[in-house]
Amino acid sequence: MPEATIRAMETDEALVRLAREGDRSAMEELFRRHWGVAYRVAYRLLGHDQDAQDATQECMIKAMAHLGDFDGRSGFRTWLLRIVTNAAFDAGRRRKRRATVGLGSAEGDAGGFEPAREDDPARNLRRQDLRNTLDTALDKIPPKLRKTFVLFAEAGLTYAEIAEVQQVPIGTVMSRIYNARTKLQSYLDGVEGL
Amino acid sequence: MRCDDVTRELATPSGDLDPADLAGHLASCASCAGWASRASDLDRIWEATRPAEPSADALDALWAHASAALDARTAPATLRFEAPGRPRRRAALAFALASAAAVLFAASALFRDRAPDAPKVADNQVASPPVRATAPPPSVVKVNVDVDQIAIVRIGEGGPRVEILDETPLFASSSLADDTPHDRFNAWESMASR
Ligand SMILES: [Zn+2]
């Protein structure tokens, strides 16, 4: 059986153990396994594809370089997403300031690695409209609610995992998800063609 | 059954409410039915705007970049036991400068024809190729000198300036708690903006 196949069958815990012992192929499997979810979370928090890619890559490298700091109390993915949410939050503030002083721009953003999943330009435009609408709504809710909701809706973390990431009780996590959803729904209410 | 309990159960399912009771309430309560309808609108827009994940080829490139960055990180560690005290720091500093020079040389060669853009922090991308062909050259380079130190090399009109900073341990649980300031990332942010 090829090594990559064997690696793909290992649990995160086993891969982390091997990677900490210097096994680069175990590290590579962790990297490949979790880059996507880290990127999707960063994207939802930043609302900008290229910034999300940069933040994700930076966080993945840091996480791999500092596996020794991972205490194993939570899962690897939970630990990684904690790093990503905090970094994305700060990257978002940095980007806002860039835009404010006119050094950057909030130009149109492809929002993903593939050029487009549709051949129909009207549908692509429609998706971009939806993305802008949702990003605007996400921008309006407080960062803590936004992070919590993204970890729940995008990463699929459990209430307990989010509580671990955010260092708050599970009840607080559930309240934040509820409040975030209610606010998002009210901001999107009345948007034509949803 | 209270409306608040119903909408909370819809937003954060706990299994505490009987599904039949829930359905009965939704059938007879216009307010909760409206909430549920807006919830499904949000779910639809969320799904429709999920960004595409990297292809296998893109992941190959990302891993190659990360792997090179990790190799560059481990290089200074070999300096740790060669000489105690100041000589070690000088050796590490020399490495930091050489690394920064390599990054800047590579960046300027790649982006010679491009106009300057906002300052950018490059993180130990010494031996690795840039992932983004469209990125501006870095004017601030951060290099890990030792486990708990980084060197910031700023390139200005008067030539490079090097600054050694001590760091707190990375990604310790307490340092990334959701409700604490993200000092480490904030520090980078302020560096990048100088
Ligand atoms: Zn009701």
Question: So what's the pLDDT on residue B116?
Answer: 37
Are β-strands B140-146 and B121-123 bridged in parallel, bridged antiparallel, or unpaired?
A: parallel
What is the tens place of the pLDDT at every residue in B49-59?
999 889 999 99
Question: So what's the pLDDT on residue A92?
Answer: 64
Domains recognised in chain A with CATH numbers: 1-98 (1.10.1740.10)
What is the tens place of the pLDDT at every residue in A47-94?
989 999 999 999 999 999 999 889 888 899 999 999 999 998 776 656
Q: Which two tokens stand for residue A84?
A: 């990503």
Set of chain A residues whose Cβ sits within 8 Å of the Cβ of B139 = none
Set of chain A residues whose Cβ sits within 8 Å of the Cβ of B145 = none
B105-127: average pLDDT = 38
Q: How far is residue B163's CA from residue B159's CA, in Å, rounded to a whole number?
A: 13
Has residue B100 got a pLDDT over 80? Answer: no
Sign of CA dihedral A134, A135, A140, A143: positive
Share of chain A above pLDDT 70, in %: 81
Question: So what's the pLDDT on residue A45?
Answer: 94
How close is the Cα of B31 to the center of ligand 1, in Å? 5
Question: So what's the pLDDT on residue A189?
Answer: 87
Are β-strands B121-123 and B149-156 bridged in parallel, bridged antiparallel, or unpaired?
A: unpaired
Interface membership of B62 toward A (CB under 8 Å): yes
Set of chain A residues whose Cβ sits within 8 Å of the Cβ of B38 = 185-186, 188-189
Has residue B120 got a pLDDT over 50? Answer: no
Has residue A37 got a pLDDT over 60? Answer: yes
Burial of residue A146, with CB atoms counted within 10 A of its CB: 0-12 exposed, 13-18 middle, 19 or more buried: buried
- Residue B114 has a CB neighbour count (10 Å cut-off) of 13
Question: So what's the pLDDT on residue B8?
Answer: 97
What is the tens place of the pLDDT at every residue in B153-182?
454 545 555 554 444 333 333 333 343 333
A192 or B36, which is more confident: B36
Q: Work out the pLDDT band at A128, boundaries 50, 70, 90.
A: confident
3-class SS letters over chain B: CCHHHHHHHHHCCCCCCCHHHHHHHHHHCHHHHHHHHHHHHHHHHHHHCCCECCCHHHHHHHHHHHHHHHHHHHHHHHHCCCCCHHHHHHHHHHHHHHHHHHHHHHHHHHCCCCCCCCCCEEECCCCCCCCCCCCCCCCEEEEEEECCEEEEEEEECCEEEEEEEECCCCCCHHHHCCCCCCHHHHHHHHHHHC
pTM metric for this prediction: 0.66
A148-164: average pLDDT = 97
A14-27: average pLDDT = 93
Q: How far is residue A41's CA from residue A86's CA, in Å, rounded to a whole number?
A: 11
Distance from the Cα of A103 to chain B's closest Cα (Å) equals 6
Work out the widest C-alpha separation in chain A, in whole angstroms.
55
What is the tens place of the pLDDT at every residue in A99-111?
544 333 334 455 5
Report chain A's mean pLDDT, rounded to a whole number: 85
What is the tens place of the pLDDT at every residue in B58-69?
999 999 999 999
Question: So what's the pLDDT on residue B109?
Answer: 41
B107-128: average pLDDT = 38
- The answer to whether the beta carbons of residues A164 and A71 sit under 8 Å apart is no
Set of chain B residues whose Cβ sits within 8 Å of the Cβ of A24 = 67
Closest partner residue to B66 (CB to CB) among A64, A86, A89 is A64
B26 or B121, which is more confident: B26
User: Which range among A23-37, A175-189, B35-49, B157-171 shows the weakest confidence by mean pLDDT?
Assistant: B157-171
Interface membership of B190 toward A (CB under 8 Å): no
What is the tens place of the pLDDT at every residue in B12-34?
999 999 999 999 999 999 999 99
B33-49: average pLDDT = 95
Has residue B121 got a pLDDT over 90? Answer: no
Question: So what's the pLDDT on residue B1?
Answer: 85
Mutation target for A interface from B176, B182, B190, B193: give the one with most A CBs within 10 A. Answer: B176
Share of chain A above pLDDT 90, in %: 63
